[in-house]
Structure 1
């Protein structure tokens, strides 16, 4: 086993965890791959990547750990009058959290791209006015 490159520190030494920019690139690719009309209807949604949710988000959502949240939608869904921004209304935004996604990736067989895409689509579902229960039902119906 010692002769395998995977056991050699020189093989693993230069490798690094995917960066915030790497996660963002995966998210941009997922957004670009959305079918129409979803892609057009999502073009004004900002997509941001952070290592973790803020302390305020963790407190508001009563999370046991910041690792418990992979993504978050902030804004007003299209079915809740989100199509016409009110004066002073912030744009709809999706947050993707890198460290929780990397932990999930390490513990499962999904590719990182699949995880980022799944989380992004789930959060964009909120932009379209879908609840978590709606999306779980859709997801269960696809399996």
Structure 2
């Protein structure tokens, strides 16, 4: 996919949905019902909570309770959400020359990994499988 303008939030969401559809069925089924959103930048409250100084330091975020901490007795306050941050992803794309679809896919998989409580090594293995 070639772009003649900066990819929009809709473009990134389309890539993320395609990447989500291509992950293994068992993994996709386990995160069914998780909302997938694209925002331009993380808000100041999120940055402060994560101890980050610049919004371009965060390409994605999983909001919700990881499976390792969920109980069947829990009443969810809001649906689990995977946020992808458009501007930081585009900055990384420009700086690294990585294929944009692959970059979006890796951010998505990284955030799904947080849902399962995977280690960074586990997540890196998943990212390398595509």
The answer to whether TM tops 0.5 is yes
1:22 to 11, 25, 34: 11
Say which one has the larger Rg.
1
Matches within 5 A, 1:121-140: 121-132=109-120, 134-136=122-124, 138=125
Runs of 4+ in 1 over 6 A off after TM superposition: 139-142
Matches within 5 A, 1:50-61: 50-61=39-50
CA distance in 2, matches of 1:105, 1:38: 26
- What's the CA shift for 1:134? 4.7
SS state at 2:25 partner: coil
Q: Name which structure has the greater RCO, CA cutoff 8 Å, separation 6+.
A: 2
Q: Give the TM-score, by structure 2 length.
A: 0.87
| Aligned positions, number | 127
CA distance in 2, matches of 1:22, 1:59: 28
Q: Which residue of 1 aligns with 2:63?
A: 74
Q: Give the TM-score, by structure 1 length.
A: 0.79
Contact 2:109 2:126 in 1 (8 A): no
Q: Deviations over 1:21-51 (max 9, x none)?
A: 0000000001100112011112111111000
The root-mean-square deviation of aligned C-alpha atoms, in Å, is 2.3
Flag the 1:77–1:27 CA change in 2: closer, same or farther, 3 A: same
2:105 to 117, 120, 123: 117
Q: Which residue of 1 aligns with 2:85?
A: 97
Q: Which residue of 2 aligns with 1:6?
A: none
In structure 2, stretches of 5+ residues that fail to align are none
